[in-house]
């Protein structure tokens, strides 16, 4: 397996624009996590899915953020409208099962909102 695949690797956008980040988890993994990494706040869990169903989105900062998982092999994180404070590295991770299993991370998407 190629691991968790995220796209794009880098995204630069203007404030107010819609941004969509994409993730393909490892095949067979039932859990998918979206994290945001910033210098100030470290690695924050935004939302996670189990079998394509959102389980906990309490980490999503605002209504401008939304995430979907239409099938087992694809998830998106959307920011609309984007703001400069959304600039961060966004990581997607997947795990085989829930509790007790490690998460495998993608390469991340570095988002810059100007």
Instruction: List contacts with another protein (CB under 8 A).
Output: 31, 33, 35, 41-43, 45, 48, 50, 55-56, 91, 93, 95, 98-100, 102-108
Residue 92's Cβ-count burial label (10 Å; 0-12, 13-18, 19+) is: buried
Name the minimum Å distance from CB 75 to another protein: 16
The residue (of 74 and 104) whose beta carbon lies closer to another protein is 104
Calculate the alpha carbon distances from 21 to 95, 101, 102 in Å: 19, 25, 23
Name the minimum Å distance from CB 104 to another protein: 8
Calculate the alpha carbon distances from 52 to 18, 35, 111 in Å: 23, 17, 24
Name the minimum Å distance from CB 67 to another protein: 15
Can you name the residues that pair with 5 across neighbouring β-strands? 24
The residue (of 14 and 56) whose beta carbon lies closer to another protein is 56
């Amino acid at each position: 397996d190629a691991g968790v695949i995220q796209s794009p690797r880098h995204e630069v956008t203007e404030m107010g624009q819609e941004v969509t980040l994409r993730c393909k988890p490892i095949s067979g993994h039932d859990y998918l996590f979206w994290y945001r990494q910033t210098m100030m706040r470290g690695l924050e869990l935004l939302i996670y899915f189990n079998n394509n169903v959102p389980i906990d989105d309490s980490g999503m900062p605002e209504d401008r953020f939304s995430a979907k998982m239409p099938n087992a092999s694809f998830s998106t994180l959307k920011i609309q409208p984007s703001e400069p404070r959304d600039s961060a590295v966004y990581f997607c991770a997947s795990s085989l099962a829930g509790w007790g299993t490690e998460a495998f991370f993608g390469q991340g998407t570095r988002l810059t909102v100007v």
